[in-house]
Structure 1
């Protein structure tokens, strides 16, 4: 299972948010072995950037614990106060090939 989480960030908050996200991703990687990625859409619109966190290869049975730990880490870091609007979470799984 992979998680793709996107949200909008005011340009003035990007430096502070970047540090918080990378720090919590390092903690989660140490705990779960899942390396998080951070991307952004090129450019800005109305002073906002679109960012995306990516968490790939979450093992079956691990998603619920990982998602709860991620939410706690976000709350502890005060991320909600640095973004504009909600975080949108999308879940994807690999397509199994038929033999």
Structure 2
């Protein structure tokens, strides 16, 4: 299993319209474990948002991106959505 982090920029004026889209998307795909975060403040009229999906399988990322396109999330995002995958550190024996 992996933890998936998706971050992107959002124009200040689009934030209020985008938030409910992302929350519906998360509710439909993740079983309550998904998180939506943002960096405090904005810079040059842009906010940085992060979606967090802990403990998902590797097939989740492409399903998420397809669902985000279907939901129209890309129309309110300024630039690309970037995904990063993290895994648990295994303790050294």
What TM-score results when the alignment is normalised by the length of structure 2?
A: 0.92
CA distance in 2, matches of 1:25, 1:89: 15
Q: 1:1-99 maps to which residues of 2 (within 5 A)? A: 1-29=2-30, 33=31, 35-58=33-56, 62-64=57-59, 66-99=60-93
CA distance in 2, matches of 1:69, 1:4: 14
Give unmatched runs, 5+ long, in structure 2.
Answer: none
TM-superposed CA distance for 1:68, in Å, is: 2.2
Give unmatched runs, 5+ long, in structure 1.
Answer: none
Asked if structure 2 preserves the Cα contact closer than 8 Å seen for 1:6 and 1:52, the reply is yes
Question: Helix, strand or coil for the counterpart of 1:63?
Answer: coil
What TM-score results when the alignment is normalised by the length of structure 1?
A: 0.86
Larger helix fraction of residues: 1
CA offsets per residue over residues 50-97 of structure 1, 9 Å max, x none?
A: 000001112xxx312x11221111011111110111111111100001
RMSD over aligned Cα, in angstroms? 1.2
